[in-house]
Every structure is written in structure tokens, then in C-alpha cells.
Structure 1
Amino acid sequence: MEKEQQIFGIRAIIEAVQAGKEIDKVFVQKDLQGDLMKELLKVLKQNGVNFSYVPVEKLNRLGDRNHQGAVASISPISFADLDELIMSLLDEGKNPLFIVLDGISDARNFGAIIRTAECTGVNGIIVPKQGSAPVNGDTVKTSAGAVFNIPICKVDHVKDAVFHLQSSGIKTVAATEKTNNNVYDIDFTEPVAIVMGSEDKGVNPSVLKVVDEKAKLPMYGTISSLNVSVACGAFLYEVVRQRL
């Protein structure tokens, strides 16, 4: 985190959240007690702000100011509203293409996905409020600035986003090895959202149960999986190939 993107101190963070600032993530000192800390946690939960507990040593490394047990990062972007984005795309007669990221926690992977998504005409990226990689300096740099050119939507739960997409006529396809379907057998010419999971766990089983289709990439090496940003790129360029 760059210092100009940080907020130090419990009270300052509370005021920033209540003022509607785009807070991407808050680091809270582990085992810190007190009424003010309880108020901060309540405000963060009420406003759906992503936060995590960390040791005080991590907070100390984030800056030399008095953090009082909490440091927040301000997002360099404004997040889009998913419902409004879907409606605008359909009203404009576009053929929507979305990426849903279920548990991508590495900022550089996130940035690489954003860069490829922008290059392949993705209309929006959907991430959960909790457990998602932050939009920070690493994300901006790895995306080569593409993060400023593509709408990113935060949702409470990925599964709810899948239901919302489906009710809007957008097919959902999960990238997973837990299927016999090949990515090249899926019809990507219609409105579609591709769900990508984390490298260690993949797409959440509860999400796999509700998507319309599942697809995998053929693998011929001894390593069983690709980096998630590379796999996402392979899926997206199959969409491009079909839509050309």
C-alpha cells in the first residue's frame, strides 16, 4: 500500500467509511480490545467492508504513523453496481461477457486477470466483498492501468451474483477440472459469465452446484493446474474466437 492510499487510526477509518469513501480493505490488529475497536468492527460489518486480523508487526510495516491498531487502504477506483451495469448493457443491446472471481486473493493475479479481461472485451468483473484481492498498487501496476477501464462490482456472495446473472438471461460457466466438459465444447456466443476460482481450492462447491455449465481446459503435462490468470486468459480467448 502506498501511503497516500492509506488511512491510519480507528476513528479516522470509522469516519471515512461513514462518509462513503471507497475503502478496499482494513487491517485490524489481532486481539486488540476496547469500545472504539468494537465500534469499528460494527461499522465495517454494517457497510460490508473487507477486513482481516493481522499481527501488530504487519501494521507497523505499513507506515510510520500511529495506527492505533487499524490501517485502511483506499481503493483507487469506484466500484460499479452490478444491477445497474447489467441493465445498461442489455438496454444498449450488447452481448454481455462477465468474469466472476471466486476467492482470488493475490493482487498480482487479480491485476493480470483485469488486464486480459480488458483486452478481450469483458464488460465487468464481479468479486465478493470478503476474501477478494484488494485493488491496490500491485493490482494497478499488474493490470497496466486496465483497472481504470473496466467496471468492477463487489457483491455480498458469489452465489447470489450467479443467481442474479442467470435471472438476467446470462449463462454462467464455471472453470473447473471437476467435469468431463471441454471448454471448446461450450457455446460462448450468447451472454455469458465465466466463474474462476482460487488456485488452491478452485470454485466453491456451493457455486458449482448452481452454475449452468462447467468446463475444463485440456491438460497434457505432469502439472495438474495452470496459474488462474493464465487459465482465465485461455477461457476468454475461446470466447473471442467464437464471437469473431
Structure 2
Amino acid sequence: MEKEHQIFGIRAIIEAIQAGSTIDKVYIQKEASGELMKDLMKVMKRANVNFSYVPVEKLNKLTPNNHQGAVATISPISFFDLEALIETVVENGKKPLFLVLDQISDARNFGAIIRTAECTGVNGIIIQKSGSAPVNGDTVKTSAGAVFNIPICKVEHIKDAIFLLQGSGIKTVAATEKTDDTIYNVNLNEGVAIIMGSEDRGVNPSVLKIVDKKAKLPMFGTIGSLNVSVACGAFLYEVVRQRS
């Protein structure tokens, strides 16, 4: 993690949140207590900041400084409002192309996906506040800077984002093995949002229930799945192919 993208110490984190800094995530030491820590928890909950409890070894690895049981990562980008972004894209009159990432947790995979998304003309990437990879130095580096060129929206729940997309006339297509349809049999020459699942679990079953279409990539080897950033690239370039 790039040191300029982190804050350590409880009071410093409280002040950063109150000042409106774009906090990506706060790591809290397990079993941490005290009045100041209670204040931090209140401030984080009020500002809806994503946090998780970790062993002290994780915090020591993040910073050699006196962290007092809390380290925050600051996002190097500002996030977009999803509703406003959809409105802008739809009003432009072009066929919208959105990418929904259902709790992809690896920062390098996230960065590689952002890079491909930028190259294929994706209008915006949607991630969930909790359980998603942070936008940190690794993400920036792996995206080759593309993270600064594509709008990224954080939402409370992926399902709400899907309902919003559908309500705007955008077809939602989930990448999953749980279907007989390959991506090559799905019409992508219209407003579409591609949903990619997490590295270990794929797209959440509750999300699969509400999407318009499910599609998979044909597999011919003995290994049953592709790396998520590679699969995402294949899906996005099929959109490009159909629209060319």
C-alpha cells in the first residue's frame, strides 16, 4: 500500500472522516477498546465508512508507525453517484455499457479489470461498499492509470444498482457457469451492464435471481474457470465485437 494513501491513529482518522476525505476502508485491531475507539466507531457508522477487524500483525504490516489500533486507506479517486451517472450516459444517446463487480476482492484483479474496461469504452464501474477491493496503489498501478479515466460508483448493495440499471432500460447480464447460454448467444448490441462475480464465489445467488440474462464462456480445458479479469475481458470484447 502506498504510504501517502493511508492514515494511522484514531484521532487522525476521525478528523479525516469529518473533513470529508474519501476513506476507502478502515482496518481496526481486533478487541480494540477505549473511549477514542468508541468515538471512531460512531463517526464511521455515521459517515457509512467501510471497516473491518484485523489482527494487530496486519496493522503492523501496513505501517511501522504508532497506529493505536487503526489504519485507514484513502482512495486516490473520488467516487461518482450512480443515479446521476446513469442519467448522463443515457441522455448521451449512445448504447450504455456498465460493469458491475460483485465483491471482487483482489486489488490487482480490480486494476486489470479497470484497464480493460477503459479500453473497451465502459461508461462506469459499479462496486459494493463492503467486501470489494480497495482502490489503492496496487489498483492504480495494475490499471496503468486507467482508474483516473473511468467513473467508479460505490453502492450499498449490488441488487439496488441492478434494479436502478434495469429501471433505466439497461439489460443486465451476469457471467456465470450456471446457465446453458454462452455470451456469444446473447444480444449485447443494446444498453447493457455486465456483472462479474468474486474470485471464489462468483456472482451472488441472490443477484443471479434478478438479472435479465445469464451467460458463460465456453470452456475446453480441464480447469473449470478463468481468472476473473481474463473472463471480464472476454465478455467486454464480445460487446465490442457485436457493436462494431
The match for 1:151 is: 151
Aligned-pair CA distance for 1:91: 1.6
Task: Assess if the C-alpha contact under 8 Å between 2:9 and 2:71 holds in 1.
Answer: yes
Measured after TM superposition, the shift of residue 35 of structure 1 is 2.2
Paired with 2:44 and 2:84, the residues of 1 have a C-alpha distance of 24
Q: Deviations over 1:23-72 (max 9, x none)?
A: 11111101111222122122222222221111111111222221111011
Superposition pairs for residues 1-244 of structure 1, below 5 Å? 1-244=1-244
- Is the Cα–Cα contact under 8 Å of residues 49 and 130 in structure 1 kept in the other structure? no
Provide the C-alpha distance between the structure 1 equivalents of 2:64 and 2:201, rounded to a whole number of angstroms: 36
Instruction: Write the letter of the residue equivalent to 1:240.
Output: V
| Equivalent-residue separation in structure 2 for 1:184 and 1:162 (angstroms) | 22
- Aligned residue for 1:24, secondary structure, equals strand
Give ranges in structure 2 of 5+ residues lacking alignment.
none
CA distance in 1 between partners of 2:46 and 2:117 (Å): 31
Paired with 1:128 and 1:119, the residues of 2 have a C-alpha distance of 23
Count of matched residue pairs:
244
- Counterpart of 2:119, as a letter, is C
Distance in 1, matches of 2:206 and 2:37, equals: 33
CA distance in 2, matches of 1:132, 1:43: 21
* 1:4-32 deviation line (CA, Å, top 9, x unaligned): 11111111111111211011111110111
Moved more, 50-59 or 158-167: 50-59
What is the TM-score with the length of structure 1 in the denominator?
0.98
Asked if 1 retains the 8 angstrom alpha-carbon contact of 2:105 and 2:199, the reply is no
- SS of residue in 2 equivalent to 1:61: helix
Q: Which runs of 5+ in 1 are unaligned?
A: none
What is the alpha-carbon distance in structure 2 between the residues aligned to residue 151 and residue 85 of structure 1? 8
SS in 2 for 1:89: helix
**CA distance in 1: counterparts of 2:97 and 2:200, whole angstroms:** 25
Q: Normalising by structure 2, report the TM-score.
A: 0.98
> Does the 8 Å contact 1:180/1:216 carry over to 2?
yes
| C-alpha contact (below 8 Å) 1:7/1:71 kept by paired residues | yes
Q: Deviations over 1:175-206 (max 9, x none)?
A: 00001111101111110100000121000000
CA RMSD of aligned residues (A): 0.9
Aligned partners of 1:48 and 1:129 also within 8 Å? no
Q: What's the CA shift string for 1:93-128, capped at 9, x where partnerless? A: 121100000010000000000000000000000000
SS of the equivalent of 1:201 reads coil
Q: Percent identity?
A: 76
Taking the aligned partners of 1:207 and 1:46, their CA distance within structure 2 comes to: 27
